[in-house]
Amino acid sequence: MNNSIFSRFTPKEPKFFPLLNSLCDVIVKAANLLKECIDKKSQGNRIEDYYKRIKEEERNGDKITQTIFDELSLTFITPFDREDIHDLANNLDDIIDAINSCAKRIMLYNPKELPASAETLSDMICKCANHLSEAIEQLNILKKNPKHINRCCEALHDLENAADDVYAQFITDIFNSETSPVEIIKLKDIMYELEKTTDCAEHVSKILKTIIVKNA
């Protein structure tokens, strides 16, 4: 329907842009809280409060995502393909879920000590969140300037590759330095979840590139 002659002359609902921006705001908040959580844990402090705050952001993300899905079912003309809006919202929400999962593992496993690479990955997650926020802010002017979104997507791809390298180096180091099998299992799962969060962010960049191809 969006490609029909009729749709070209029908106003398209702009409500999805602020909703997607709000979802990115939640990602940025959750990512910053995760970074603080890891910093506090590395200093030997309790982090239950950080997990609760991240969990609250995760719930906020679920509400916004559901609102987007509800609006999709009610809106006749969308700014771009409704399937792409659905995938974009769903995968942005996956990032929030992944951040929540990272914090939950740190709290439940309570490892004796987090490696420095955990802080490195949390920094990368924050950078991913900021690039995503920048990209989503540009969606409403996509046809005028797709280059900015493309640059953000390239940055997300580079961060995901760098996170892979950090995780690979962590695996090498942990088996050389840690003697407790229990601690190895705990840390490996935490670090895997941190690295997977950057994968989720990079997956959103692929959806954004698809949207650019269809609409720019």
Angle made by CA atoms 90, 96, 98, in degrees to the nearest 5: 100
Handedness of CA 68, 69, 72, 74 (dihedral sign): negative
- What gap in Å lies between CA 106 and CA 173, rounded to an integer? 19
Residues 115-162 have pLDDT tens digits of 999 999 999 999 999 999 999 999 988 878 789 999 999 999 999 999
For position 13, what pLDDT does the model report? 64
Q: How confident is the model at residue 5 (pLDDT cuts 50, 70, 90)?
A: very low
Q: How confident is the model at residue 12 (pLDDT cuts 50, 70, 90)?
A: low
Q: How confident is the model at residue 10 (pLDDT cuts 50, 70, 90)?
A: very low
All structural domains of the chain: 5-215 (1.20.58.220)
Mean pLDDT of 36-45: 93
For position 23, what pLDDT does the model report? 97
Residues 153-190 have pLDDT tens digits of 999 999 999 999 999 999 999 999 989 999 999 999 99
For position 143, what pLDDT does the model report? 79
Residues 50-96 have pLDDT tens digits of 999 999 999 999 999 999 999 999 888 888 899 999 999 999 999 99
Residue 173 CA, distance from chain mean position: 27
Is the per-residue pLDDT at 28 higher than 70? yes
Counted residue by residue, the chain has a size of 216
129 within 8 A of 31, measured Cβ to Cβ: yes
For position 1, what pLDDT does the model report? 41
Angle made by CA atoms 103, 104, 106, in degrees to the nearest 5: 65
What is the secondary structure of 122-178 as a DSSP string? HHHHHHHHHHHHHHHHTGGGTTT-HHHHHHHHHHHHHHHHHHHHHHHHHHHHHHHH-
Q: How confident is the model at residue 14 (pLDDT cuts 50, 70, 90)?
A: confident
Going by C-alpha positions, the residue among 37, 15, 29 that lies closest to residue 107 is: 37
- What gap in Å lies between CA 65 and CA 6, rounded to an integer? 29
Residues 151-163 have pLDDT tens digits of 999 999 999 999 9
